[in-house]
Amino acid sequence: MTTMSKTDIQIAICGSAGDGTIAAGDILRNAVAAAGYRVIGFDVYPPEIRGFGKCISRLRISTDQSYSLKRHSDVLLSLDDSQALPHAGEVRDMGAVIFESQPIAPCQEGEHMSARVLPGQIPYAFSMRELSQQATGGGRARNLVALGIIAGLLGLTPDPFRAIIARKFGKQGPEIVARSLAGFQAGFDGATRTFKLDDVFFSPPGQADTAQRVIMLSGNAAVARGCLDAELDTFFGYPITPATSIMERLAAELPKHGRRLLQTEDEIAAIAATIGAGYAGARAATATSGPGLALMSEMLGLATITETPCVVFVSQRGGPSTGMPTKTEQSDLNAALYGSPGDACRIVIAPTNVEGCYRCAGKAFEMAERYQTPVIVLLDLYLSNRYETVTLDESDHAFVLDANKPLPRLEPGETYRRYALTEDGVSPRAVPGDAGHMHVITGLEHNELGRPDDSETMHAAMSRKRHDKLQAALRHPEFAVTRRFGATGRVKVGLLAWGSTFGECLEAMFMAQAQNIPCAALKVVMLSPFPVREVASFMDDCDQVLVPEINHEGQFAQLVQGTLARPVTRLSRVPGSPMPVELILNEIRRLAQG
């Protein structure tokens, strides 16, 4: 047995919907974050509301920042063996498999977790139900007993758990809090009496001063926080997995700041209202997923042609159609880039981690207003639901929120030209109520005044204007459209990735480097307009370019090849879950050998 010098522990909690699996994961990640560890976590839950289907909460706890979940967990806790059995093999050798020793229902041979524990793993059977009943008078606190077991077995201090449990259940009254704490304590005491045989140990967390600046956020929570820090005025939305929690958070927060949120009757109304608010001068946004984006596509063209700032957060899920609402995928890239009739250009950016969600959210409003265009922020379920400890300094709040060009002083008799053809393509924007700046807007092609004009000359000029002005977004202040990691100079393999998959790419790259494979990774955040120069420069340095992404068609690879006409190796998979790091690593090895 060896004690790890730095903590890098992944814990998976698995149960059925209704077992409190996700709640347990939530308490655990907040407790370890409060203790000063870095956390990255991801919950998988079924499309059904309750009583059916599998829930898994996985979290990786580390001393230093991690970029993805690991393939193998160090600990698996089963709250329901019928769901957790297939996951026993995910635990590494000498890792711990914790399960219920007194399940209610009889089971046939092989249906209990003890049948699936591999010889190299360490089994721990606890009577979680009985402990819960003894401590709380019922079995509902079984998930808290389980948390106590994890804390006790791994030697975690119980105080952060107690504080978070008290906070989480505080609204339900002191009796519930007391029962919940009793359940946790029962598990904790039971585990501390258990002889530990596994080699999963926590080493002390990082510096305390760093821990104090770290907060725990999900991708969607970070988006909501970014919206708030960017002083979002109005949000319009219609619920859809996995974007709903953005609206839920803003619904709680916006009114506190005197701002408004409206749940509309559908996605078409949501985008229409967002554009309308933007036209009226309000900072406005909506959030949806792939099916909702499809409904919004026509109205997004309106925002493009009217040059109205608006921000759309799109969290992708498995498709097409209703598809797999609770599974992650990166298959809405084409819809985000091209999904409107006409040459409906727009800005599309994609954060790669939770901190990026915050920054992209704020920057999206900057860009929407500076370039007078719709901006799509492309997330996915993995990123939306992923929890990470992030450090948000005060300086991170500095979004430039007053990007509008000053309105021109109009001479007597002069008419305001809302769509004036300027050198950078961006026209001074007036909003209703700006004295003397009355103008027409329409979905029809128009002239500089905004009046309908379908002449060839004007359509060509306006088309050029709408496209050219976006090029400036590639140089948007304090926004890295791409960022290179790993080796500098020439490398055997270059990873080109976007969105949530970049974390897995980064982990794979570090592992490849540890195996002496010269490689680098380029994170591409700006997807439209495409950062041709940066991507081409990176590819110049690479013998081979690998593009991992979670979709079947290789949509990003198509974008790269279509734009640069250069070969790439595609690694396109649709597992409904994050891309396995080992899969990327194997492909790196294969390419490096070739």
Token pair listed for 301: 């063209």
Nearer to other proteins, 130 or 453 (CB): 130
Least Å distance between CB 194 and other proteins? 9
Q: Is 355 helix (H, G, I), strand (E, B) or coil?
A: helix
203/214 Cα distance (integer angstroms): 18
Tell me the HSE value of 334 on the side-chain side, using a 13 A CA sphere. 12
375/377 Cα distance (integer angstroms): 6
Q: How far is CA 35 from the centre of its chain?
A: 24
Least Å distance between CB 154 and other proteins? 16
- Binding pattern to other proteins, positions 145-184, x when CB under 8 A? ----------------------------------------
Q: How far is CA 228 from the centre of its chain?
A: 17
Least Å distance between CB 107 and other proteins? 5
244/227 Cα distance (integer angstroms): 15
Residues contacting 248, CB < 8 A, separation 6+: none
Query: First vs last Cα of the chain: how many Å apart?
Result: 38
- Residue 422 is given by DSSP the state -
Least Å distance between CB 128 and other proteins? 12
Residue length of the chain: 594
Least Å distance between CB 129 and other proteins? 11
227/223 Cα distance (integer angstroms): 6
Amino acid at 506: L
Least Å distance between CB 123 and other proteins? 4
Contact indicator for 290, 319 with CB cutoff of 8 Å? yes
Nearer to other proteins, 111 or 541 (CB): 111
Interface residue with other proteins among 171, 195, 207, 258 (CB under 8 A) is: 195
Least Å distance between CB 63 and other proteins? 24
416/408 Cα distance (integer angstroms): 8
Q: Is 101 helix (H, G, I), strand (E, B) or coil?
A: coil
Residues 31-60 that bind other proteins (CB under 8 A): none
Amino acid at 271: I
Nearer to other proteins, 124 or 188 (CB): 124
Q: Which residues sit opposite 59 in a β-bridge?
A: 11, 41
Q: Which residue has the tokens 């080109």?
A: 496
Least Å distance between CB 197 and other proteins? 6
Residues contacting 243, CB < 8 A, separation 6+: 220, 237, 287, 288, 289, 292, 313, 314, 315, 379, 384
Residues 483-512 that bind other proteins (CB under 8 A): none
Nearer to other proteins, 109 or 402 (CB): 109
- Binding pattern to other proteins, positions 121-150, x when CB under 8 A? -xxxx-------------------------
DSSP string for residues in 230-253:
TT--EEEE---TTTHHHHHHHHHH
344/301 Cα distance (integer angstroms): 5
Nearer to other proteins, 3 or 212 (CB): 3
Least Å distance between CB 112 and other proteins? 5
Nearer to other proteins, 97 or 147 (CB): 97
Nearer to other proteins, 114 or 455 (CB): 114
Q: Beta strand 542-549 with 569-572: parallel, antiparallel or unpaired?
A: parallel
285/22 Cα distance (integer angstroms): 29
Least Å distance between CB 97 and other proteins? 9
441/452 Cα distance (integer angstroms): 9
Nearer to other proteins, 108 or 395 (CB): 108
CB atoms within 10 A of CB 7: 21
Q: Is 565 helix (H, G, I), strand (E, B) or coil?
A: coil
Nearer to other proteins, 120 or 342 (CB): 120
Closest CA to 15 of 103, 136, 115: 103
Least Å distance between CB 401 and other proteins? 59
Least Å distance between CB 114 and other proteins? 5
Question: Residues 544, 550, 551, 556: is their CA dihedral positive or negative?
Answer: negative
Nearer to other proteins, 96 or 525 (CB): 96
Token pair listed for 148: 């106590």
Residues 507-526 that bind other proteins (CB under 8 A): none
Nearer to other proteins, 122 or 379 (CB): 122
Under the binding rule (CB under 8 A), the answer on residue 582 touching other proteins is no
Cα angle vertex 55, ends 49, 59, to 5°?
A: 135
Nearer to other proteins, 97 or 232 (CB): 97
Q: Count residues binding other proteins (CB under 8 A).
A: 27
Least Å distance between CB 115 and other proteins? 6
40/440 Cα distance (integer angstroms): 49
Nearer to other proteins, 187 or 351 (CB): 187
- Binding pattern to other proteins, positions 197-216, x when CB under 8 A? x-------------------
Residues 83-122 that bind other proteins (CB under 8 A): 93, 99-109, 111-112, 114-115, 117-120, 122
420/124 Cα distance (integer angstroms): 72
Nearer to other proteins, 117 or 224 (CB): 117
Task: Give contact residues for other proteins (rule: CB under 8 A).
Answer: 1, 93, 99-109, 111-112, 114-115, 117-120, 122-125, 195, 197
